[in-house]
Amino acid sequence: MWWNLLLLIAGFTLLIKGSDVFVDANVGIARYLRIPPVIVALTIISIGTGAPEVAITTFASVGGQNDLAISNIVGSNMFNLFFIIGLCALIKPFNINFHIISKDFWVSICVAVLFLFVIIITGEHVPRYVTIGFILIYIGYIAILIRRSLKNRVGQDVKIEEGDKAPKPMWLNIVLAVISCGVIVFGASITVANAEMIAEHLGMTTHLIGLTVVAAGTSLPELVIALMACKKGETPMALGTVVGSNIFNILMVLGIAGTISPLEIGTDIRGIVLTDLCVLAFGSLLSLFFVYSGRRLARPEGAIMVTVYFGYMLFVIISQI
């Protein structure tokens, strides 16, 4: 048990450090392309921070652990939406220039609702052509973002941190991106294996540990980046990271996992998954309401979002133990 816990922590450490280097390397590449910050957050950073979810969900799906694969994605999206945005508002309330990210916010809501309808319609088996469709939708979304970035490219500099040192050369960023990707994959394999062993030892369902421990652990990169962005007044980057990550998780992560090994949702967890997705969709609409109502996320709104997250996690834990 303790050995599995140490290995789980080691796996998380590799995931976090690997994704940290992966993001830095990809942002370094983006500097040469002069992509605006919000586009960097919606694409490169969200894809980089989503690398742990890709690795864990793919390994879980290939190993037949579809409950872990799906719960990890849904749990990560809940953590991103409720906890990260709520915590940012609690620490430092911020105004939102909503026209910058409004379309992407709507995309994240539509994606969550789309996955909910897919689960309702397809039943216990999500066909491979559906997950391939998810990937194609994401590719189309990225194409639109690239077109948007090209329109706003002139005179834009990617600014991640003040006082940055001289940028690394392009070749070094590419090498670091490749190496860190390998670290992420290795860390994911350790995490999945030991998360399952701990869950079985404690009598917890794999779905529960995926929705809570694994989901929060793989979302730590998004948390750190969003908090740093809010601290520096880069609100569009903070929101872009969370929104982009949620879109990437459902369309690309589940798309890849379901294409490699079709997703099977047993009758024992189907109702739980549907409930999770309903809460996620509700949270998306709630956050959108907060944003539209005052174009600002203040501490009361942040407190509500964090409370909803912990309240639902407590409900899930009590109902499944």
Write the pLDDT tens digit of every residue in 199-228: 778 777 777 888 887 888 778 778 877 877
Would you state the structure tokens that stand for residue 9, as one six-digit string?
Answer: 């922590």
- Placement of tokens 């090994």 in the chain: 261
Cα–Cα distance measured from residue 235 to residue 34, given in angstroms and rounded to the nearest whole number: 19
Summarize the confidence of residues 99-112 as an average pLDDT: 79
Of 123, 7, 118, the residue nearest 73 (C-alpha): 118
Query: Is pLDDT at 71 greater than 80 in this prediction?
Result: yes
Q: What is the pLDDT of residue 295?
A: 66
Task: Supply the DSSP symbol for 181.
Answer: H
Cα–Cα distance measured from residue 274 to residue 112, given in angstroms and rounded to the nearest whole number: 11
Helix segments in the chain, DSSP class H:
2-33, 37-40, 46-49, 51-62, 66-78, 85-91, 102-122, 128-151, 170-202, 206-209, 215-218, 220-231, 235-248, 254-260, 267-294, 299-320
Give the chain's mean pLDDT. Answer: 80
Q: Which of 146-155, 183-192, 238-247, 271-280 has the lowest mean pLDDT?
A: 146-155
Q: What is the pLDDT of residue 306?
A: 93
Residue 145 half-sphere exposure toward CB, CA atoms < 13 A: 25
Write the pLDDT tens digit of every residue in 151-160: 766 454 444 4
Let me know: does 16 contact 48? Beta carbons within 8 Å: no
Cα–Cα distance measured from residue 283 to residue 242, given in angstroms and rounded to the nearest whole number: 13
Residue 197's contacts (CB-CB under 8 Å, 6 or more residues apart) are: 4
**Buried residues in 196-235 as b, exposed as e (16+ CB within 10 A):** bbbbeeeebbbbbbbbbbbbbbbbbbbbbbbbebbeeebb
DSSP secondary structure string for all residues of 241-272: HHHHHHHHIIIIIHHHHHHHS-EE--HHHHHH
Would you state the structure tokens that stand for residue 290, as one six-digit string?
Answer: 């907060």
Please provide the size of the chain in residues. Answer: 321
Query: Is pLDDT at 321 greater than 50 in this prediction?
Result: yes
Q: What is the pLDDT of residue 158?
A: 45
Cα–Cα distance measured from residue 302 to residue 286, given in angstroms and rounded to the nearest whole number: 11
Residue 93's contacts (CB-CB under 8 Å, 6 or more residues apart) are: 296, 297, 298, 299, 302
Q: What is the pLDDT of residue 37?
A: 62
Of 102, 94, 88, the residue nearest 294 (C-alpha): 94
Q: What is the pLDDT of residue 188?
A: 74
Residue 239: other Cβ atoms inside 10 A: 30
Cα–Cα distance measured from residue 80 to residue 78, given in angstroms and rounded to the nearest whole number: 5
Summarize the confidence of residues 295-303 as an average pLDDT: 81
